[in-house]
Amino acid sequence: MNLPTAACPVPAVEGVLSADDVRATARSIVAMQEPSGAIPWTPGDKTDVWNHVEAAMALLVAGEVEAAEKAYAWTLGLQRPDGSWPMKIVEGVVEDESAETNMSAYLAVGIWHHWLVRGDRDFVETYWPAVSRGLDWVVGMQLPFGGIAWSQEWREGRAGSVNAEALVAGSSSIHHAFKAGLALAGLLDDSRPEWEFAAARLAHALRFHRDLFLDKKQFSMDWYYPVLGGAVRGPEAEVLLASTSPGWDTFVEEGLGIRCVSENPWVTGAETCELVMSLEANGDRERALQLFADMQHLRHENGSYWTGYVFPDEVNWPGEQTTYTAAAVILAADQLSRTTPGADIMRGETMPRVGDLDCGCEASRAAQSTQS
């Protein structure tokens, strides 16, 4: 039986963004949506499934239900029989057939978010086969240490070699997607123990074996994503977010936001909002609110957001407003204000708890000793 689908109020963050501001930001995304439903980074640029789903989630909480559901419908036409999606689509043409695991997992997050906001079981049932195929494919890409291989090459319609190395940020997002998938499985009474097992192995790798992932420590995403994806929370997350090598002191620029890459004097809106959501999910609302206010200098007069800002030159760069930045702002506003039921999507309190499948390593034994 479906729950009521009454419209939710639009998020607003007191003293920072009004509901009308958020509506304007959502309209900036709709203005860039293609007739097919695809939401590219900018007009004429590429669409990838991860950022596309994130934009659909933002549209939903801002009241743009028709545009959001048109975006979700677009995903079904691009999924391949193995459960993967191509990496890069430009105006309806696949320009890179390769498949990234985090992209193919992320539909699960979007559909659970839609359920939280709309309570529409028919919608969930329509997308469940695609969610299932996507996560099944990702399970098959898990590496022996628990991380998820980041991609698979494709050429001329055929799957090729697997890039058998894992990324912290991508695998953290997949951990989040597994939890969303398990929540959907519970809703539909369709047990998926293989997802739970894979998620537990992945959680352990993200907590204790980040040294086995590709070294991308120059990227801020590599720092905060284990918290955003829910694998690391509580005191452990506090330690991670306070870390300095690299960490808070490396990436956070007071009054501006956070750097995307440690060596570049360039703050970016999407990464800043993701850190906002990571902090809030771990109970650090004060710093989350401050960072959210800090990044508003990227707001354009039409409600869209510049991708980033090079602070020595005092210039927005690149010279574009991106849908993924606008989407991150809306989702952060919802989480900070707790306006819609979808505000839980990053906190994960509506998702089942996934344990940590301990491999008996020295790092986990040391952690258990500290806690006892």
Res 144: pLDDT: 97
- Using the Cα atoms of residue 52, residue 53, residue 56 and residue 61 in order, give the sign of their dihedral: negative
Closest by Cα among 112, 127, 159 to 140: 159
Report yes or no on 365 lying in a domain: no
* Structural domain span for residue 137: 19-349
CB 216, CB 222: distance < 8 Å: yes
The predicted model gives 316-330 an average pLDDT of 98
- Using the Cα atoms of residue 28, residue 111, residue 240 and residue 212 in order, give the sign of their dihedral: negative
pLDDT band at 5 (very low <50, low <70, confident <90, very high): very low
Rounded distance between C-alpha atoms, residue 256 and residue 267, angstroms: 7
Res 8: pLDDT: 79
Res 51: pLDDT: 98
Average pLDDT, the chain: 95
Predicted confidence (pLDDT) per residue in 245-289, tens digit: 799 999 999 999 999 999 999 999 999 999 999 999 999 999 999
pLDDT band at 364 (very low <50, low <70, confident <90, very high): confident
Predicted confidence (pLDDT) per residue in 167-223, tens digit: 999 999 999 999 999 999 999 999 999 999 999 999 999 999 999 999 999 999 999
Q: b or e along 282-302 (b: 16 or more beta carbons within 10 Å of the residue's beta carbon)?
A: bebeeebbebbebbbebbeee
Rg of the chain's alpha carbons, rounded to an integer?
19
The predicted model gives 19-41 an average pLDDT of 98
Phi, psi angle pair for 108, to nearest 5°:
-60, -40
CB 135, CB 178: distance < 8 Å: yes
CB 69, CB 55: distance < 8 Å: no
CATH number at residue 110: 1.50.10.20
Res 62: pLDDT: 98
Rounded distance between C-alpha atoms, residue 223 and residue 70, angstroms: 34
What is the number of domains present in the chain? 1
For residue 45, the 8-state DSSP code is S
Res 2: pLDDT: 46
Closest by Cα among 283, 328, 286 to 62: 328
pLDDT band at 4 (very low <50, low <70, confident <90, very high): very low
The predicted model gives 68-73 an average pLDDT of 98
Predicted confidence (pLDDT) per residue in 113-134, tens digit: 999 999 999 999 999 999 999 9
CB 173, CB 102: distance < 8 Å: yes
Closest by Cα among 271, 227, 226, 233 to 252: 271
Listed in sequence order, the residues at least 6 apart from 326 whose beta carbon sits closer than 8 Å to its beta carbon are: 25, 26, 28, 29, 55, 58, 303, 304, 305
Predicted confidence (pLDDT) per residue in 136-181, tens digit: 999 999 999 999 999 999 999 999 999 999 999 999 999 999 999 9
pLDDT band at 371 (very low <50, low <70, confident <90, very high): low
Rounded distance between C-alpha atoms, residue 361 and residue 275, angstroms: 29
pLDDT band at 6 (very low <50, low <70, confident <90, very high): low
Report yes or no on 188 lying in a domain: yes
CB 260, CB 271: distance < 8 Å: yes
The predicted model gives 62-84 an average pLDDT of 98
The predicted model gives 290-298 an average pLDDT of 98
Amino acid at the residue 236: E
Res 35: pLDDT: 98
Res 1: pLDDT: 36
The predicted model gives 73-81 an average pLDDT of 97
Closest by Cα among 76, 88, 81, 71 to 26: 71
State the alpha helices, DSSP H only, in 252-322: 269-281, 285-294
Res 370: pLDDT: 63
Report yes or no on 1 lying in a domain: no
Report yes or no on 366 lying in a domain: no
Amino acid at the residue 63: G
Phi, psi angle pair for 284, to nearest 5°:
-100, 75
Maximum distance among all Cα pairs of the chain, rounded to whole angstroms: 57
The predicted model gives 321-341 an average pLDDT of 98
Listed in sequence order, the residues at least 6 apart from 297 whose beta carbon sits closer than 8 Å to its beta carbon are: 256, 309
Report yes or no on 316 lying in a domain: yes
Rounded distance between C-alpha atoms, residue 68 and residue 201, angstroms: 33
Rounded distance between C-alpha atoms, residue 315 and residue 274, angstroms: 22
